[in-house]
Amino acid sequence: MKCEKVKELVLTDYVDGQLEMAEKARLEEHLKTCAGCHEFAQSVEKELVAPFAGLERPEVPPVVWQNIRTAIVPEEEPKQAWTAVIRFLEYLKSLRPALLILAGVVFVFMLSTLFTKPAGTPEQIAQPPVVQQQLAVQESPSSTDELTVETYLASLDDDYDDVYDLAENGYGTAIEEYFL
């Protein structure tokens, strides 16, 4: 193994533990016999490997998760609402046989309503109730209307008599009695 290749491997695969056993053994054999490569390997170990070994990896400050949660929770609600709709549809899907039976019952009921014969004469059936009532009013003589007019006129006379009586007899107050 040439020194150039050894140094390249020392800088990469050897220090990173990526070499296969056989190749590693060959390289270490070379390091035993070559002082320059041995010194180079020691330098790499001291200056590049050791400083990184045991380097502390700080914990993430708790505020980071709080900020992330604040950012994602508003988006959580529509997602959950959408999930709820999907679950409801799936629930309905599971009830499919029961819904089919219910639809059948409703259909039969509607058919029976359509074909049932309604009560009453053919004329009554043909005319809606409101129209029938109006016809009945038109056909009968309006004796009640005449009575109503007479009653009204009589009530006017009664009112006039009341006013006349008041003017003649007074209201019965103390000041009125004084002048009269």
Partner 1 sequence: MQEIEREILERAAAGDVNAFEEVYKAYSRFVYNVALRMCRNNEIAQDVTQDVFITVYDKFDKFRFESSFKTWVYRITVNTSINTLKKGSKMRDKSVSFDDQYDYGQAADSMPEKIQREEQAALIDRLLGYLNTDQRTCMVLRNIEGLSYEEIAEALKIPINTVRSRLKRAREKLLQIRNEVIPNEV
Binding interface with partner 1 (CB under 8 A): 8, 11-13, 15-16, 18, 43-44, 47-48, 51-52, 54-61, 63-65, 67-69, 71-73, 75-76, 79-80, 83
Measured from the Cβ of residue 80, the count of other Cβ atoms closer than 10 Å reads 10
Helix, strand, coil % over all residues of the chain, rounded to 5: 80, 0, 20
The least CB distance from residue 80 to partner 1, in Å, is 6
Burial status of residue 14 (CB atoms within 10 A of its CB: 0-12, 13-18, 19 or more): buried
Q: State the minimum distance, in angstroms, from the CB of residue 92 to partner 1.
A: 21
3-class secondary-structure state, position 2: coil
* Beta carbon of residue 10, minimum distance to partner 1 (angstroms, whole number): 9
* Closer of 75 and 139 to partner 1 (Cβ): 75
CB of 72 to partner 1, least distance (A): 5
Task: Between 86 and 102, name the residue whose CB sits nearer to partner 1.
Answer: 86
Residue 100: both structure tokens together: 């089919």
Q: Which is nearer to partner 1, 53 or 136 (CB)?
A: 53
Q: Which is nearer to partner 1, 64 or 137 (CB)?
A: 64
Q: Long-range pairs for 127-136 at CB < 8 Å and ≥24 separation?
A: none
